[in-house]
Amino acid sequence: MENEELECRAKITHETCDGIQPMHLVFYEQSIHYSAERCLNAFARYDSMIDSDEAYELISAVQEAIGHSAALSRYFWPTSMGKKKEIPEQLAMRQSRGLKLKKIFGVTDDSPIANRDIRNAWEHFDEKLDTYLISNDAGLFFPSPMIAHHAIADEPTGKVFKLIDPTNEVLILLDKRFFYRPIRDEVERIFKKSVV
């Protein structure tokens, strides 16, 4: 289909249906349900290992959950991908779709899944690692993933690569703390609304 036709259809959908044609709503609901369910399944896997000493596995489960919560967040806060000038109507339709879905699912802009810091920490980890390593040339480095209390990151000479604190539900990546319980709670709430 030609871009001109897509732009025309997007304009109609944006202006007359708030970004989602009524017969298409179920596709968004199913997609939201899937992302929320995958996120919660990863957290369930995390729960099943919580008493283990497998830092890699615990961090992996939280990382997977965060990845799925990031996919979920894009339904409510669509990315504009550089705001391409050739598809303004499609971008407008996506923005109105996000607003409509936020209203349907009761998601607000202060939602924990709106914060993209933790998602970006994973998605751009290689770049963050580059910067982290060239920024920190002294101190005690902990390159292996660890299970410990997050206060270890407060040590001025300690450099934490990856740490999980299951008691306080904190993940530390390159000395930055990310509390994942609020994300989990929000995804659970959305999941309950998405059950069709």
Mean pLDDT over each residue of the chain, to the nearest integer: 90
How do residues 103-130 score in pLDDT, each as one tens digit?
Answer: 999 999 999 999 888 777 777 788 888 9
Q: How many Å is the maximal CA-CA distance in the chain?
A: 59
Q: Name the pLDDT band for 97 (thresholds 50, 70, 90).
A: very high
Residue 58 is predicted with a pLDDT of 96
Where are the chain's structural domains? 3-194
Nearest of 10, 152, 20, 137 to residue 75 by alpha carbon: 20
- Residue 137 pLDDT exceeds 80: no
Mean pLDDT of 131-144: 81
Q: What is the mean pLDDT of residues 131-148?
A: 83
> DSSP letters of 100-121?
HHHHHHT--TT-GGG--HHHHH
